[in-house]
C-alpha cells in the first residue's frame, strides 16, 4: 500500500488533478491546520476560519482539472485562502454600506406616517429576503444591484466565470420575485436599491 504522506507536493498535485481521492485527503491533512491558523489570525472567528478553509478545499477539488498545481501547491493554497479572506472583508463592507443606506433612506421625511410605516415594513421584508438568499447568490446580487459592478467585475471578485455570475443574478431575481411578489419586486429595484 502506498503511503501518500511520503509524496512531495508536486506528486500530490499531479495525483489530485487525476482525481485521486487519497492524494486530496493527504493535501487536506497536510495543509488544513496551517491555512486554518492563517485564516483565524485574520478573522478572529473560529467557525468563519474553518468554513473558509473548508470552502477553499471544496473549490480545490472541484477545479482540480483546471489547475496546474504541480509547481507550487502550498503557494496556491495560501493565495486562495488569502483571497477568500479578502472577499469576506469586501462582502462585510458592502453589507455595512447597504445597512447605512437603508438607515439614511428611512430618515427622509417625504411621506405621511402611514406611508413611512408601510415603507419600513416593505424594506424590512426586502432586506430579510435578500439576506435569506443562499451564498454566493446573495453576495453576487448585492455586488450587481448595490455596487453596480458588471458581471465581468463580479466574476473577477468572486473567482467565477461571467456566465456563472449571470446565472446567479437570474437565480436571485427569480427567488426574490417568487417571495416578494411582482409589486414588491419592482420596488426592490426602483426605490430601495
Do 69 and 12 form a contact (C-beta atoms < 8 A)? no
188 has pLDDT over 60: no
3 state SS of 192: helix
CA neighbours within 13 Å on the CB side: how many for 168? Answer: 23
Number of C-beta neighbours around residue 94 at 10 A: 16
Residues 113-147 have pLDDT tens digits of 656 676 777 777 777 777 778 887 888 878 877 77
Specify if 131 maps to a domain: yes
**Does one domain contain both 75 and 123?**
no
Cα dihedral sign, 42-43-45-51: negative
Instruction: Report which of residues 107 and 126 the model is more confident about.
Output: 126
Write the CATH number for 155.
Answer: 1.10.10.10
Band of pLDDT at residue 191, cut at 50, 70 and 90: very low
Is the residue at 103 inside a domain? no
Quick check: is 96 in a domain?
no
Domain C-terminal end among 52, 85, 118: 85
Would you say residue 93 lies in a domain?
no
What's the whole-model pTM score?
Answer: 0.49
The structural domain count of the chain equals 2
Instruction: State which of 135-139, 160-164, 172-176 shows the largest mean pLDDT.
Output: 160-164
Domain extent at residue 167: 108-192
Of 25-34, 56-65, 94-103, highest mean pLDDT? 25-34
What is the distance in angstroms between the CA of the first residue and the CA of the last residue of the chain? 59
DSSP code, position 189: I
Amino acid at each position: 500500500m502506498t503511503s501518500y504522506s511520503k509524496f512531495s507536493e508536486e506528486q500530490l498535485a499531479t495525483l489530485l488533478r487525476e482525481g485521486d481521492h487519497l492524494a486530496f485527503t493527504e493535501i487536506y491533512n497536510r495543509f488544513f491546520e496551517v491555512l486554518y491558523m492563517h485564516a483565524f489570525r485574520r478573522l478572529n472567528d473560529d467557525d468563519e476560519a474553518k468554513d473558509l478553509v473548508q470552502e477553499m478545499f471544496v473549490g480545490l477539488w472541484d477545479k482540480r482539472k483546471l489547475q496546474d498545481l504541480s509547481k507550487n501547491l502550498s503557494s496556491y493554497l495560501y493565495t486562495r485562502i488569502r483571497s477568500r479572506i479578502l472577499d469576506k472583508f469586501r462582502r462585510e463592507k458592502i453589507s455595512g454600506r447597504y445597512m447605512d443606506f437603508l438607515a439614511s433612506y428611512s430618515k427622509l421625511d417625504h411621506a405621511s406616517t402611514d406611508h413611512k410605516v408601510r415603507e419600513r415594513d416593505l424594506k424590512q421584508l426586502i432586506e430579510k429576503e435578500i439576506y435569506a438568499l443562499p451564498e454566493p447568490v446573495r453576495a453576487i446580487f448585492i455586488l450587481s444591484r448595490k455596487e453596480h459592478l458588471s458581471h465581468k467585475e463580479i466574476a473577477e471578485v468572486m473567482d467565477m466565470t461571467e456566465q456563472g455570475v449571470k446565472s446567479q443574478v437570474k437565480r436571485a431575481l427569480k427567488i426574490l420575485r417568487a417571495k416578494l411578489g411582482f409589486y414588491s419586486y419592482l420596488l426592490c429595484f426602483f426605490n430601495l436599491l
